[in-house]
Amino acid sequence: MAENETIIEDKKVVTLAYILKSDDGEILDETTPDDSLLYLHGAENIVPGLESELVGKKVGDKFTVHVVATEAYGERGDSDLMVIERSEFPEDMDVEFGMQLFDEDDKGNLVPMWVVENEGGKVTLDFNHPLAGFNLNFEGEVLAIRDASEEEVEHAHPHGADGHEGHDH
Ligand code: ZN
């Protein structure tokens, strides 16, 4: 099969450029030429509503995808904030908006949370993903598609653009 006929399907590593907007047109996220999105198809690396729309696309294909909140990061719960002292974090840690942290629940499961405010010695954490509650509107283009290595399939994520990026786990 010729290179340009490779399509997006399971076990492919895909590179995307996109701009993500809310229904109001606010830009929520945007890739740059130096920082495009790399993901392993079929491994739930990206929101399911986007992943399913990309199946069968080729390099150079453009896409416009509307994903309702429930198919993206879910609805926003309103009592999911937690405030803790800044001093509970290491002093040299950059505690900034959007930073993701993990807490452990009673059963030892890791629960993700995000920093929404760091002010006056208090840090506010939100158990909602920052994009929870938003319908997502992706406009983008498929930049590259390649076969995933066995190791990448096993890890359920890509290892860099060429598949050889070192990392420790
Ligand atoms: Zn890995």
Could you read off the pLDDT of 63-83 as tens digits, one per residue? 999 999 998 988 888 767 899
Give me ligand 1 centre to Cα 148, in Å. Answer: 12
Could you read off the pLDDT of 116-125 as tens digits, one per residue? 899 999 999 9
Give me ligand 1 centre to Cα 144, in Å. Answer: 20
Residue appearing with tokens 């920052």: 130
Give me ligand 1 centre to Cα 159, in Å. Answer: 6
Give me ligand 1 centre to Cα 20, in Å. Answer: 26
CB 116 within 8 A of CB 97: yes
**SS3 breakdown of the chain: % helix, strand, coil, rounded to 5?**
15, 35, 50
Q: Which residues have a Cβ under 8 Å from the Cβ of 32 and sit 6 or more positions away?
A: none
- Pairing verdict, β 81-85 and 122-126: antiparallel
Could you read off the pLDDT of 32-44 as tens digits, one per residue? 999 999 999 999 9
- Cα–Cα nearest to 4, from 62, 64, 57: 57
CA distance 4 to 23: 33
pTM above 0.85, yes or no: no
pLDDT band (50, 70, 90) for residue 3: low
Give me ligand 1 centre to Cα 161, in Å. Answer: 13
Q: Which residues have a Cβ under 8 Å from the Cβ of 104 and sit 6 or more positions away?
A: 110, 111
> Quick one: tokens of 58?
């080729």
Give me ligand 1 centre to Cα 151, in Å. Answer: 7
The DSSP secondary-structure symbol of 148 reads P
Give me ligand 1 centre to Cα 169, in Å. Answer: 6
